[in-house]
Amino acid sequence: MARKKAASCDWAPARKKGKPTQRKGPAAPPRTRLMRHSADHSWTGVKTERYKLDDGTWADVIRRTLVGDRGEGVKFHLRYFEIAPGGHTTLERHRHEHVVVGVRGRGKCKVRRNSYEIEVMDTLYIPPDAPHQLKNPYQEPFGFFCVVDAKRDRPRPV
């Protein structure tokens, strides 16, 4: 059995050029799906994924994609990230926007030259091309939802 290539959290994969895929009959519409939340900040039917390829620019981050990788017709993706104490995301920039909503613990986000502390239910908008990095300097996990465009560009390290 061939292994399926893992979806990236950073950008939408490029479409291959060539003949369009032939389908038999109309595509089935997306189904309603309820993902139950658990006390450990996981959801039923949602896999825990690594943040991105190990390249030494980040530490102790997990990702769970809630909406956007199961055939939904949405123009956005909703993901949950969790940064362990002492962990951080990559310092990067890209053309797409982010919306970050704190849902567990607290953390810090550097955007350009400013630093913002994010607590539960705080919402931070990160504009296009703004260098940014999320960190957890605290003793408890920092979990947040991140909303991004479904079609997005590749991040550029800063």
Cβ pair 60, 84 in contact under 8 A: yes
Task: Determine the Cα–Cα distance for residues 18 and 6; give it in Å rounded to an integer.
Answer: 22
d(CA 22, CA 8): 26
CA torsion sign for 76, 151, 87, 136 is: negative
SS (H, E, C) 25-75: CCCCCCCCCCCCECCCCCECCCCCEECCCCCCCCEEEEEEEEECCCCCCCC
One-letter amino acid at 96 equals H
Rounded to whole angstroms, the Cα distance separating 134 from 126 reads 11
Task: Specify whether 9 is catalytic.
Answer: no
Bridge partners of 51, per DSSP, are none
- Selecting among 62, 100, 146, 148, the annotated active-site residue is 146
Catalytic residues: 146
